[in-house]
Amino acid sequence: MRLRFRHGWVLCLSLIGLLLPVAAQPCPPDLRIGFNEKDSPPYLLGVGASFAQPAGLLVEWTQQALQDFKCQGARLSRAPVRRLALDVETGALHFVMGFAHTPERARTMRFPLTPSGALNELRLLGEVNVHLFVLQQAPAAQWDGRALTPPTATVGVVGGAIDENLARARQWPLDVGLNYSANLKKLRQGRVAALLAPELTLSPADLQAEPRVAPVGPPLWRSLYFAPANAAFYAQHPAFVEAFWLRLCELAQPHRHTPSACG
């Protein structure tokens, strides 16, 4: 009886911690938060390790949340997506901002979950459809939502990005590039039959330059973006991480395609 009573108090205290307001959650010192080095307007602006001015919505939301929690000594950095994934897995980063959820990533980092253990989509920061893009006038590949034709068509993807994971899961022939601009150039040169990319990564100017590029078929995937945390850091500070995610979601809510309450 004493053992059950003690565990009950632990559970109650944990639940109380999760329900405390933002201002009451202590912020761990010296947070390390990573961002992609690629230009993804309006969420991230500029290319490379430096932050542009303005830096983009993701950085603005993060800075506001850090201010709300009175966080001290937080360090923000930019890096390639593969480096970010490795750093948040190993604990070199506590959070990585704007990372798409995949089953592979969910095994190595902590995403927001419901009490039943399912992905908590109400805590997302944004959502983007992933499309297959081809030359508009002379498409070398087709996609009907079920099959890629011809099945030998080479698809350009960015290494470490969500599109590489999706294409590999379908066992498509791949050409792995460094960035979407390079892959777009390969598509126009005929070096790949199609380009797989989140719609956000290609601007109207990118699509309308000659020869024109257009999406083909339905979206391949609805990509949901979060701020996943290092799993060990979450285990040490669950109440803070949950509150931090909630505040980020509240800041992102007015900018989402389908605004909904943050749960």
pLDDT digit string, tens, across residues 96-127: 999 999 888 999 999 999 999 999 999 999 98
What was the pLDDT predicted at 19? 47
> Does 236 map to a domain?
yes
d(CA 197, CA 184): 10
**Residue 71 — very low, low, confident or very high, per pLDDT cuts 50/70/90?**
very high
What was the pLDDT predicted at 23? 52
> Does 5 map to a domain?
no
Question: Which residue segment(s) compose the domain that 37 sits in?
Answer: 17-125+227-255
Are 96 and 55 within one domain? yes
Is residue 11 scored above 80 in pLDDT?
no
> Does 67 map to a domain?
yes
Residues 227, 152: contact at Cβ < 8 Å?
no
Average confidence score pLDDT of the chain: 88
> Does 68 map to a domain?
yes
**190 SS3 class:** coil
Are 106 and 134 within one domain? no
Give me 175's structure tokens. Answer: 């050409």
> Does 99 map to a domain?
yes
pLDDT in tens, 148-158: 999 999 999 99
What was the pLDDT predicted at 7? 36
> Does 1 map to a domain?
no
11-20, 66-75, 86-95, 131-140: the lowest-pLDDT one? 11-20
Question: Edge-to-edge strands of the sheet including 75-79?
Answer: 75-79, 32-36, 95-96
pLDDT in tens, 142-183: 999 999 999 999 999 998 888 998 999 999 999 999 888 899
Number of domains in the chain: 2
CA–CA distance from 98 to each of 31, 73, 117, 154, 181 (Å)? Answer: 17, 21, 21, 28, 20
Are 112 and 21 within one domain? yes
Are 113 and 231 within one domain? yes
Q: What is the mean pLDDT of residues 201-208?
A: 86
> Does 12 map to a domain?
no
CATH number of 179's domain: 3.40.190.10
Are 112 and 29 within one domain? yes
CB atoms within 10 A of CB 123: 22
**Residue 201 — very low, low, confident or very high, per pLDDT cuts 50/70/90?**
confident
Are 162 and 117 within one domain? no
Are 101 and 49 within one domain? yes
Are 66 and 181 within one domain? no
Are 249 and 134 within one domain? no
What was the pLDDT predicted at 24? 63
> Does 3 map to a domain?
no
